Amino acid sequence: MGLLYDLSNKYNTLSIVGMAKNAGKTTALNFLIEEAMDEGITLGITSTGRDGETQDLVTGTEKPRVYLDEGTLVSVPSQLYNLADAGLEILKRTPYSTAIGELLICRVRDSGYVQIAGPVINAETKKLCRDMFELGCDLIMIDGAIDRKTIASPDTSDAIILATGAVLSRSMKKVVEETAHVVHLYELPEFKEDDRVTEFIKNDNYEHIIAFNDKGEGRVLDLVTGLGNARYIDDAIEDDTKYIFIPGAFTNSVVADISNKHLKQVEFILKDPTKIFVNIMDWGQLRKRGFKVKVLKNIEIAAITVNPWAPQGYTFDSDFLIESLKTLLPDMPIIDVRK
C-alpha cells in the first residue's frame, strides 16, 4: 500500500501546496493520481486556479501536465472543456464561475490530459467538494495553482501535502530551515482558553483588531488591519489586556512599535497560520522578545514531498535532503516522488 492509501484512510480532502513555483507540486499531484489508479481510489480533482497547462503561465518554464484515469472526477471551466485530451462526461454544471467560464464537474471516460481549474473563493471550493462527494468520489485533492499559500487555509481541506525543494535556495541548509519554519508555523497551538473570546471574534466576522481583558471582555478597535498600526495597538493595550486578535496579514510591521513590556503581557490570536508573513530570523527575534501567539485553527500537514532539482540548473542529493529535513521534522512523512 502506498502513501495515498494511508492518507485516504485519514482524510477526505487534501490540498497540495508548493513552497514556491517549481517546488514539485504538480509532479507530486501526478504521483498521487497514479497511486489512486493502482489502489482503486476514485479521486475528485479541483484547483484554486488554472492548472494542467504545459507551460507555466507566469515563468514560461515547462511544467508537467495532469493526466487523469477513467472514473476520476474533475472540475473544468467550460472554455477548457474542448481542450482536454481526455474524454470527459459532464455530470453537473455548477453555479461557480471563473474568468474562463462556468465550472463543470466531469467524469473522465477516456484517460488523458486535462487542464483543471476551480473556484477562487474558499467557501465555493468547499461547496464544490460536497458536490463531488455526492457524485461518488472517495477522496478530493485540491491543487493550489495560483496562490500557493492561501490554499493551505484550514477552511479549505482536512490537511495539506507540502511540496518543497531546491528552487527555494542554492543552500540546502536554508531550504531545510525554511521548510521546517513553515511546518512549525502551521502547527502553532490553537486558542482554547476562553470560548467568550472565540465567539466575540466570530461575531465580529474576523474584521477588526480586538483587545480582550482578563475577564474575556472584548473591545473592538477602529482598525481593520495590523499592518503599519503597531503604535496604535501599543496604545490600546491597557493593564488588564490579555489577548489581541489580529485579522488579516501578520508581518513585522504589526508588532514593530509595540513595547517589550506589552509584547510580553499579551498573547496574540490569529485566524490561522497562513496569515503569518514573517521569516525565520525575525520570528526567532520576536520569540526572544517574549512574543506569544495562537491561532483559532491550525493546519495539519499530512506529508512533505521534495524536489531536489531547480530550474536554474543546480541539484541536491535527494537522500541527504530528506535526511536533513527529518532531523528537524522526525515524525513527518517525507518523500521524493520521483524516486
Position 154 scores a pLDDT of 79
Cβ–Cβ contacts within 10 Å for residue 324, how many? 21
pTM of the model: 0.88
End-to-end CA distance of the chain: 16
**Do 73 and 99 have their domain in common?**
yes
**Do 175 and 213 have their domain in common?**
no
**Do 26 and 142 have their domain in common?**
yes
What average pLDDT is seen over the chain? 89
**Do 46 and 183 have their domain in common?**
yes
Question: Which residues pair with residue 315 across a beta bridge?
Answer: 309
**Do 290 and 215 have their domain in common?**
yes
pLDDT-based confidence at residue 63 (cuts at 50, 70, 90): very low
Least confident piece of the model among 40-54, 170-184, 322-336: 40-54
Q: Is residue 64 scored above 50 in pLDDT?
A: no
Mean pLDDT across 180-209: 95
Domain limits at 145?
Answer: 3-187+299-335
**Do 218 and 266 have their domain in common?**
yes
Q: Is 299 left (phi over 0), alpha (psi -120 to 50) or beta?
A: beta
What pLDDT, in 10s, does the model give residues 160-178? 999 999 999 999 999 999 9
Please report, for the domain that includes residue 127, its CATH number: 3.40.50
**Do 263 and 182 have their domain in common?**
no
pLDDT-based confidence at residue 59 (cuts at 50, 70, 90): very low
Mean pLDDT across 265-276: 95
CB 333 within 8 Å of CB 302: yes
**Do 45 and 146 have their domain in common?**
yes
Domain count, the chain: 2
Task: Give me the DSSP letters along 271-289.
Answer: S-GGGB---HHHHHHHHHT
Residues 6+ apart with CB under 8 A from 326: 332, 334
Q: Give the three cell numbers for residue 300.
A: 495539519
**Do 199 and 181 have their domain in common?**
no
pLDDT-based confidence at residue 68 (cuts at 50, 70, 90): very high
CA 261 to chain centre: 34
